[in-house]
Structure 1
């Protein structure tokens, strides 16, 4: 059977209990309803949203109707909207839960069922196994009651909040006009992102026409994920053609945001860690003293250096925003290297690609007013804190069991040296407490590698970082070259892990 993983269900469409279909969704919803009732939340409001994937409309209807029959007051969103809209709605309404039908950036054959709980944060263990037990206990026929769609102005309220971010976060300051190239990668973020950017004052937007309208087949990309090689090619070509200042790509449910920038060698996409530290610094410039920023165990350590320099607190969690959203009091920003950014935790306690896009545009416009770029900012970080060169190696395998088997083999015979550097080894599955997870951590002098199986896809993931000291601005090219060489050795090692 499908099990609750990253805040819910995710899997391929098809018949049977190990696939996403109306029966699976109905049973999951019945289990969720029973779990909520056990916590004296019966009869409360539940928000149901969806993306535009195959089956999403039908699954959202089933979810809403099963919840209504179980006595809940259901707010069924009327259109396929970004996942952050559902997260926002749960928090704004004080709803007891929310369900978003989405498989995020998975391949076209997949769909999913994402659960938010009170406060608008993702479902967290042990609630997932508790709901699974409730699902397994469902034996009676599942009742359904028709539910009318109801906007309640939630989309407009979300847009109004996002449009305020340049003032709420950026504060006063001179801004220059900028030109933006944009793609939602055939997902549901196109219209919402353009509306949000326009409302925030960014009107010179050029969209990739072939990818703007939602299309569940994602015809122009092999995988609908801005991180995948080739996925942003059309965007970068457009950015170069229109002489843009910034390129923005959202994933299909618009909870992730990737940025592209012009460089001396041409346009390139920033890594999630690069975008993460840029947005963090932008937020911290006007954040209250002793604010908290957070990232995950697989992200760059650069944020910790920046936070200390800016007088902010720093926290590190396991991967996923179910952990990051709960990083601690005073959280003003959180990110994970997989292009997920939470720039407004007071409104959306999850990653939000639309709000990240608006804040990125605000940052670029303010830098341009001072004749600076994002690349200039990254160069300054490198000189001050050292070159933090990172990469991710994602190896697609036949199934998730195969990925777990590679990790088990590596756990049995861990390396003692990587890229010519002696490394210490930590098996994070053997830890106690909140940081226990199925991952292996290798650390050495200026080197860090994390290896883990993906929780949602048949992939082995390796997260690599090397840190190279910089003698000064003139020493930056040599430091970057040395970092690339060490990083290349680590990449070759990780690619060999899957044979």
Structure 2
């Protein structure tokens, strides 16, 4: 337990007995109201919360969990939520971690997206860092997350902080943290930040913020739009075939930033690359943290494309690109031959881009001497087939760009190889190593270039994906996210995952399991022979089932949301046949989770 003034904080796995916990939580609530007076609406919300005692205890007796991806939570009062107090405390812990690493003079970059309170939280973090004597670079307005990662590397900073909850609903915000290579915070430093926050006076961050003065102001440096030029130049250098024939780029493109940070950057990079017919979807073009047209501002969901599809039918556009609020993810909707539109999933976009990058680099003679590709362990097996066709090394890592960043560092920084593409199925793409996080801006540029290239071949992107299936065989790649409803849904998700590890199913929908890849125990088991072999990846809470008919089902808990994600790769004659299998597998999994 951490006692700070009258605030009493506990590890979420070591809470006191319920009645004692309720007493402490009420005391913390009283102190909160004394320091940061609650509004009438907040008081009413907390009174409703008290009827769910476990939730009330969690809100006012524990800290929001801090991991390698930082923080993410609802913007409400409480110790386990996103607000000025928790942002300030976390920033103070981050400052101490950077100072201990000797990075105060190297500095920290702070950015933010369009979410409610993002700019306020970013300014608060910057001022705390400045008071602590750290050189701070603060973007003057919202920027894409990948530009922050890129800028850490360009300026040689020790770390970076971006206030964003990525594609979460409007009620949430987050605190993404990066280290000196531009990748997400390594586990060692993440543990340090979490431990320091837990040991500090809960209000210490806000008290440091109150000391911001003219002397601290000298440590604060504003990054204006001139800083974007370095990012633009780098992205333009990533083009695969920049000198496409005249007229190839005269394609009509609709773009939606989903009310987020890509609103200015993406149209500008497309314009500089020579695409003159780019139109932003008007109803989604303005930054707005309430996301009025997208309850879930995620390009993974087809419904966010509806305003664009309506406009496309009026303007004859055949391509719609969307990025999420911090512009690190990108999505794509294509027009079919019958005039209807279809949205592609993350794997389909990734496969299209990979196919184009390889073919384009070979055509332009720009393939590096030692190229490699990185995907997650739940990414489509079609990638394996494509890389095998071109004898390009392929590395598999866990889902999450922190693992991709680690692999790039291992193979490129120390191994002399060159990353030509990395992606994960959740719409995150990186065509190089100039930054160490997914980049929706770069992906948007290459999607447009890819479409222009295929047009010179008399094809559309829809034709191109069909050609890939014809060459390598159809595999349906799908996801289901099953939300956990419980007082502590993250703990409930952990219990369900433990059951899958300890008592794994031996068949799904009547089809037997051939192999089980248990990444928690780092073992691969053949159910026919009983042979057990090691998995070389480090231990993680993931389990994968390979069926006798070639299907693969993988389960992993989300690190930021109360749900378990299931990934299916289903070889089939076509999408319709694969969907039938997908629905059967989902029903079987839901039955197991009851």
User: TM-score category by the smaller chain?
Assistant: over 0.9
Contact 1:165–1:358 (CA under 8 A) maintained in structure 2? no
Question: How far apart in 2 are the matches of 1:253 and 1:260?
Answer: 19
Residue in structure 2 matching 1:243, options 301, 304, 316 = 316
Query: Is residue 229 of structure 2 the alignment partner of residue 156 of structure 1?
Result: yes
TM-score for both structures, normalised by structure 1: 0.92
> Over residues 43-62 of structure 1, what are the superposed CA-to-partner deviations in whole Å (9 max), with x where a residue is unaligned?
22211111121111111111
Question: How far apart in 1 are the matches of 2:537 and 2:137?
Answer: 34
Question: How far apart in 1 are the matches of 2:190 and 2:552?
Answer: 31
Q: Structure 2 matches for 1:293-332, cutoff 5 A?
A: 293-327=373-407, 328-329=411-412, 330-332=418-420
Contact 1:294–1:335 (CA under 8 A) maintained in structure 2? yes
Contact 2:249–2:275 (CA under 8 A) maintained in structure 1? no
**2:332 corresponding residue in structure 1:** 259
Q: Structure 2 matches for 1:168-317, cutoff 5 A?
A: 169-174=240-245, 175-264=248-337, 266-285=340-359, 286=361, 287-317=367-397
Q: Structure 2 matches for 1:106-121, cutoff 5 A?
A: 106-121=168-183
> Over residues 225-249 of structure 1, what are the superposed CA-to-partner deviations in whole Å (9 max), with x where a residue is unaligned?
1223522222222223322231101
**1:11 corresponding residue in structure 2:** 73
Question: How far apart in 2 are the matches of 1:289 and 1:241?
Answer: 46
Describe the shift of the 1:240–1:420 C-alpha distance in structure 2 as closer, same or farther (beyond 3 A): farther
Q: Structure 2 matches for 1:419-498, cutoff 5 A?
A: 419-423=509-513, 424-431=515-522, 434-444=537-547, 445-468=549-572, 478-498=573-593
Contact 2:253–2:320 (CA under 8 A) maintained in structure 1? yes
Secondary structure of 1:214's match? coil
Question: How far apart in 2 are the matches of 1:172 and 1:154?
Answer: 26
Task: Tell which deviates more after alignment, 426-435 or 312-321.
Answer: 426-435
> Over residues 415-434 of structure 1, what are the superposed CA-to-partner deviations in whole Å (9 max), with x where a residue is unaligned?
21124321132332222874
TM-superposed CA distance for 1:127, in Å, is 2.0
Residue in structure 1 matching 2:444, options 357, 361, 367 = 357
Gaps of 5+ in 1: 469-477
Question: How far apart in 1 are the matches of 2:590 and 2:276?
Answer: 43
Question: How far apart in 2 are the matches of 1:192 and 1:57?
Answer: 18
**1:100 corresponding residue in structure 2:** 162
Describe the shift of the 1:354–1:38 C-alpha distance in structure 2 as closer, same or farther (beyond 3 A): same
Question: How far apart in 1 are the matches of 2:497 and 2:305?
Answer: 30
Specify the structure having the higher radius of gyration (Cα).
Answer: 2
Question: How far apart in 2 are the matches of 1:181 and 1:494?
Answer: 38
**1:391 corresponding residue in structure 2:** 478
Residue in structure 2 matching 1:415, options 505, 511, 525 = 505
Question: How far apart in 1 are the matches of 2:289 and 2:279?
Answer: 22
- Residues paired across the two proteins, number: 487
> Over residues 264-297 of structure 1, what are the superposed CA-to-partner deviations in whole Å (9 max), with x where a residue is unaligned?
4521111100111111122223122431111101
Question: How far apart in 2 are the matches of 1:136 and 1:244?
Answer: 53
Contact 2:149–2:435 (CA under 8 A) maintained in structure 1? yes
Contact 1:290–1:311 (CA under 8 A) maintained in structure 2? no
Gaps of 5+ in 2: 1-62, 362-366, 413-417, 523-534
Describe the shift of the 1:324–1:222 C-alpha distance in structure 2 as closer, same or farther (beyond 3 A): same
Question: How far apart in 2 are the matches of 1:92 and 1:303?
Answer: 31
Q: Structure 2 matches for 1:52-91, cutoff 5 A?
A: 52-91=114-153
Contact 2:159–2:182 (CA under 8 A) maintained in structure 1? yes
Secondary structure of 2:299's match? coil
Describe the shift of the 1:308–1:44 C-alpha distance in structure 2 as closer, same or farther (beyond 3 A): same
Describe the shift of the 1:24–1:481 C-alpha distance in structure 2 as closer, same or farther (beyond 3 A): closer
> Over residues 363-421 of structure 1, what are the superposed CA-to-partner deviations in whole Å (9 max), with x where a residue is unaligned?
00010011112222222222222111111001223333333333233334322112432
Contact 2:249–2:276 (CA under 8 A) maintained in structure 1? no
TM-score for both structures, normalised by structure 2: 0.78
Give the structure, 1 or 2, with the largest relative contact order (CA under 8 Å, sep 6 or more).
1
TM-superposed CA distance for 1:455, in Å, is 0.7
Contact 1:50–1:100 (CA under 8 A) maintained in structure 2? yes
Question: How far apart in 2 are the matches of 1:9 and 1:414?
Answer: 32
Task: Tell which deviates more after alignment, 172-181 or 57-66.
Answer: 172-181
**1:406 corresponding residue in structure 2:** 496
TM-superposed CA distance for 1:484, in Å, is 3.4
**1:337 corresponding residue in structure 2:** 425
Describe the shift of the 1:240–1:495 C-alpha distance in structure 2 as closer, same or farther (beyond 3 A): farther
Contact 2:346–2:426 (CA under 8 A) maintained in structure 1? yes
> Over residues 33-83 of structure 1, what are the superposed CA-to-partner deviations in whole Å (9 max), with x where a residue is unaligned?
211222222322211111121111111111111111222111111001111
Describe the shift of the 1:177–1:496 C-alpha distance in structure 2 as closer, same or farther (beyond 3 A): farther
Q: CA RMSD in A?
A: 2.0
Task: Tell which deviates more after alignment, 454-463 or 399-408.
Answer: 399-408
> Over residues 122-157 of structure 1, what are the superposed CA-to-partner deviations in whole Å (9 max), with x where a residue is unaligned?
112132112111222334653543435332721122
Question: How far apart in 2 are the matches of 1:109 and 1:319?
Answer: 25
Bigger share in helix: 2
TM-superposed CA distance for 1:172, in Å, is 4.3
Residue in structure 2 matching 1:36, options 98, 101, 105 = 98
Question: How far apart in 1 are the matches of 2:455 and 2:225?
Answer: 39
Question: How far apart in 2 are the matches of 1:181 and 1:68?
Answer: 41
TM-superposed CA distance for 1:496, in Å, is 4.2
Secondary structure of 1:48's match? strand
Contact 1:393–1:494 (CA under 8 A) maintained in structure 2? no
